[in-house]
Copies of this chain bind each other. A is one copy, B any other.
Amino acid sequence: MIPKQTVNMTDVARHSGVSIASVSRALRGEPGVSPTTRDRIMTAARELSYVVSPEASRLAGGATGRVGVVVPRIDAWFYSTVLAGIADEFDTVGTDLVLCTLPDSAARHRFFEALPLRRKVDAVVVVSLPLSARERTRIDQLGVPSVFVGGHHPGGNRSWIGIDDELAARQAVGHLIHIGHRDIAMIQAADDTDIPWATDQARISGFHRQIREAGLGDPTVVTVKWSIEGGSRGMEMLLSGPRLPTAVFCHSDEIALGALRTLRRAGVSVPQQISIIGVDDHPSADLNDLTTVAQPVRDQGQIAAREVLRHLVGEAAPVSAPNTDALTTLPTRLVIRGSTASPH
């Protein structure tokens, strides 16, 4: 469907020594490119006889009226809630939302190879995908503004919306320490992709830092898959150990919910014999009386949508320094329910 061009924006970017996003901005007459850089880009484009595609001209003249949203999957609470926030905002201004899901590694591979959104959307929002450096570059190669939600990887000149995952972990573990726990384990979840996800790493390092700063010994950590099932498995592993910790920090509420199920089945009472805490404030956390650190999920979608719309009208906040990202960090907060109490 996409006409082949011998020279593309990547060539212009390489020739002029700037990012593809800058080439895109310069060719579309958008702000955010210095006059000197713009001149260099225009010269490179002329020298390479770069032809702006008809679709691209249409973009320059106005817009497709569409923004792409890329999410790993939508049948999971976090993603569907972020998406709902984005959809709300787009609806109010009449922007069409083109949805791309990448439920497995084949779909993901296809997406980053073919970039099916190319020339079809004015901008993209990428929600909580653990992106490799190459994948981040491919998103840039869409040649349109992009905004990222969750799991910040420093890359430079990108807009990220998320929470401070290390702080969230510290709030959770801090609560356990504050009420007297000294023997705190973690059920940590690992994604099945090969790419280390920033969110995962930050929650793990937050846990270890808080434990270390409180002067507590080496904690027990078990690693499972990111799912309720994984949480159940993790708690079974802890129950098989020589001694049960008095409290468990779970990587997320879904992990914690699985852990609670195992404890119920094993006849271990919560919080009398063990305290459990998660991160998220999943709707089931309230239902199962789970103490957690809440993150504002719908808000992340809404703010990302507003940010991408600001990019489209050229009103996005300029990045403060070259090669840094524009980060928007939303606050998390401790929600104390019935699954945590002081140890006996």
Instruction: Determine whether the beta carbon of B283 is less than 8 Å from that of A228.
Output: yes
- CB contacts under 8 Å to B, within A88-114, are 88, 91, 94, 96-101, 103, 107, 110
Instruction: Determine whether the beta carbon of A99 is less than 8 Å from that of B97.
Output: yes
CA distance A80 to B87 in the complex (A): 13
User: Of all chain B residues, which has the CB nearest A96?
Assistant: B98
Copy tally for this chain in the complex stands at 2
Known: A99-B97, A287-B288. A1 touches B88 (CB 8 A): no
Query: Is A75 interfacial (CB 8 A cutoff)?
Result: yes
Contacts of A255 in B (CB 8 A): none
CB distance from A115 to the nearest CB of B (A): 12
Contacts of A1 in B (CB 8 A): 65
Contacts of A284 in B (CB 8 A): 284, 287
Contacts of A75 in B (CB 8 A): 77, 80-81, 83-84, 298
Candidates B65, B101, B228, B287; contact of A84 at CB < 8 Å:
B101
Query: Is A261 interfacial (CB 8 A cutoff)?
Result: yes
Query: Is A73 interfacial (CB 8 A cutoff)?
Result: yes
How many chain A residues touch B (CB < 8 A): the figure is 38
Instruction: Determine whether the beta carbon of A74 is less than 8 Å from that of B84.
Output: yes
- CB contacts under 8 Å to B, within A10-59, are none
Query: Is A125 interfacial (CB 8 A cutoff)?
Result: no
Candidates B79, B94, B98, B261; contact of A97 at CB < 8 Å:
B98
Candidates B83, B110, B288; contact of A74 at CB < 8 Å:
B83
What are 19 A-B contacts defined by CB distance under 8 Å? A73-B84, A74-B80, A75-B77, A75-B298, A76-B80, A79-B80, A83-B99, A84-B103, A87-B99, A87-B101, A87-B103, A88-B101, A96-B116, A96-B120, A97-B99, A97-B100, A228-B287, A257-B287, A287-B288
Sample of 20 further A-B pairs with CB below 8 A, known A96-B98, A288-B288: A66-B98, A69-B99, A74-B80, A74-B87, A75-B298, A76-B80, A79-B80, A80-B80, A80-B83, A87-B99, A88-B101, A88-B103, A94-B116, A96-B120, A97-B98, A98-B98, A228-B287, A257-B287, A284-B284, A287-B288
